[in-house]
């Protein structure tokens, strides 16, 4: 069958696909241009894509033979699953494998923001570290503080496990409450969102992007946070109203932030990069050699199994497609 791969994959993973199928691969870093995607998809049965490819009805209408969309990544707001389901196309993702790595990144941002790691690094490189001084780059303690986790799914729980090692008090707000045993194991208490915002020293976001979570953090929410608190976002940019956040950071409504994702990625809200009290990463939450390799393997496996007509391990719409048959 014919397969379109819109991203660079490890060569051994690409050859796994090429052993069974005819692959049109895009072996470059910038996202595949929409125009090219619309052109290349027309005769394909399989598609391996990622967050930078918007797979909507327009793309699907051009792909009458498409059977499987294997997303490289766990988030799937860029895929119109309903439109795919209507056409009987399986959609898969790569959950689980990036949980711990993304939690590491969230913790890296917590520590970097609170301990001013990036500012300090910049100062040293500029040759401005001339002497030790008692008030030089004073940050905030992380250990023993209160961590507020919004979204207690796999990644939120992995962040909570790390926070226990820092003797943090853990409060959380989530659509689904953990079972009592889970709360006990993580020493985490479920609280209303307002309580979390008012009490947490670090608010970390781990919700998917949905119509309900878009701009979950707006001016009202940021103003509820402590003026000494930090906001950490490794989830999705549009969960935060970025213009409001920039104003809040500038005016000292909150003390700082650590961001891996942006509202209009890769564009940034003007003013964000002028601020010293924010640490900025280029959406690299899952970017380790091990995790990105595993994501590629999982996406390829989902694709290959789906193209054989079997149930891919991580199919998001399998039941719905079976119902339609």
Active site residues per annotation: 236, 265, 283
Q: Provide, rounded to whole angstroms, the least separation between the CB of residue 121 and ligand DGY.
A: 25
Residue 88 DSSP class: T
Q: Provide, rounded to whole angstroms, the least separation between the CB of residue 221 and ligand DGY.
A: 22
Q: Provide, rounded to whole angstroms, the least separation between the CB of residue 253 and ligand DGY.
A: 27
The pair of three-digit structure tokens given for residue 48, joined into one six-digit string: 């391996």
- Name 124's bridge partners: none
Given the rule CB under 6 A, which of 22-30, 71-79, 173-181, 270-278 is the region that contacts ligand DGY? 71-79
Cβ atoms of 286 and 295 closer than 8 Å: yes
Q: Residues 286, 291, 314, 317: which binds ligand DGY (CB under 6 A)?
A: 286
- Within 13 A of 287's CA, how many CA atoms are on the CB side? 8
Q: Provide, rounded to whole angstroms, the least separation between the CB of residue 139 and ligand DGY.
A: 28
DSSP states of 57-120 as a string? HHHHHT-TT--EEEEESS--TTB-HHHHHHTT-EEE---STTHHHHHHHHHHHHHHHHTTHHHH
| Residue among 74 and 225 whose Cβ is closer to ligand DGY | 74
Site for ligand DGY in 78-107 (CB under 6 A): 98
Q: Residues 75, 156, 258, 312: which binds ligand DGY (CB under 6 A)?
A: 75
156 binds ligand DGY (CB under 6 A): no
Backbone conformation region of residue 86, classed left if phi is above 0, alpha if psi is from -120 to 50, else beta? alpha
Considering only CA atoms, which of 87, 70, 64 is closest in space to residue 5? 70
73 binds ligand DGY (CB under 6 A): yes
Query: Crossing angle of helices 99-114/117-125, nearest 10°?
Result: 60
Given the rule CB under 6 A, which of 27-35, 67-75, 198-206, 316-324 is the region that contacts ligand DGY? 67-75
Given the rule CB under 6 A, which of 68-76, 210-218, 269-277, 308-316 is the region that contacts ligand DGY? 68-76
Given the rule CB under 6 A, which of 72-80, 150-158, 188-196, 309-317 is the region that contacts ligand DGY? 72-80
- Name 146's bridge partners: 169
Q: Which helix (H) or strand (E) holds 5?
A: strand 2-5
3-class secondary-structure state, position 284? coil
Q: Provide, rounded to whole angstroms, the least separation between the CB of residue 275 and ligand DGY.
A: 23
Count of residues touching ligand DGY (by CB under 6 A): 7
Site for ligand DGY in 163-182 (CB under 6 A): none
Cis ω before 77 (30° cut-off from 0): no
74 binds ligand DGY (CB under 6 A): yes
The pair of three-digit structure tokens given for residue 295, joined into one six-digit string: 């994501």
51 binds ligand DGY (CB under 6 A): yes
Tell whether the torsion through CA atoms of 95, 78, 288 and 249 is positive or negative: negative
- Residues of the shown chain interacting with ligand DGY in the complex, contacts defined by CB under 6 A: 51, 73-75, 98, 285-286
């Amino acid at each position: 069958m014919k397969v379109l791969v819109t991203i660079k994959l490890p060569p051994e993973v690409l050859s796994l696909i090429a052993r069974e199928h005819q692959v049109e691969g895009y072996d470059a870093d910038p996202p595949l241009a929409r125009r090219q995607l619309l052109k290349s998809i027309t005769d394909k049965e399989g598609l391996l894509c990622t967050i930078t490819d918007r797979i909507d009805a327009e793309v699907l209408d051009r792909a009458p033979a498409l059977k499987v969309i294997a997303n490289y990544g766990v988030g799937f707001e860029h895929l119109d699953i309903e439109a795919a389901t209507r056409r009987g196309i399986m959609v898969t993702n790569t959950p689980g494998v990036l949980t711990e790595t993304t939690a590491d990144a969230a913790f890296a941002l917590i520590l970097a923001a609170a301990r001013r790691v990036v500012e300090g690094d910049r100062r040293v490189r500029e040759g401005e570290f001339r002497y030790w001084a008692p008030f030089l780059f004073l940050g905030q303690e992380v250990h023993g503080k209160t961590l507020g986790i919004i979204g207690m799914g796999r990644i939120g729980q992995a962040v909570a496990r790390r926070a226990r090692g820092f003797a943090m008090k853990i409060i959380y707000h989530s659509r689904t409450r953990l079972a009592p045993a889970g709360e006990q194991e993580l020493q985490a208490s479920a609280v209303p969102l307002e309580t979390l915002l008012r009490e947490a020293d670090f608010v970390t976001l781990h919700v998917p992007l949905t119509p309900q979570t878009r701009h979950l953090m707006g001016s009202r929410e940021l103003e509820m946070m402590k003026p000494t608190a930090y906001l950490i976002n490794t989830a999705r940019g549009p969960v935060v109203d970025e213009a409001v956040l920039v104003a809040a950071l500038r005016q000292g409504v909150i003390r700082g932030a650590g961001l891996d994702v942006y509202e209009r990625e890769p564009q940034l809200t003007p003013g964000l990069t002028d601020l010293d009290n924010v640490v900025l990463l280029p959406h690299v939450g899952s970017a380790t050699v091990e995790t990105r390799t595993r994501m590629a393997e999982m996406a390829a496996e989902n694709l290959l199994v789906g193209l054989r007509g079997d149930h891919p391990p991580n199919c998001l719409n399998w039941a719905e497609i079976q119902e339609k048959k």
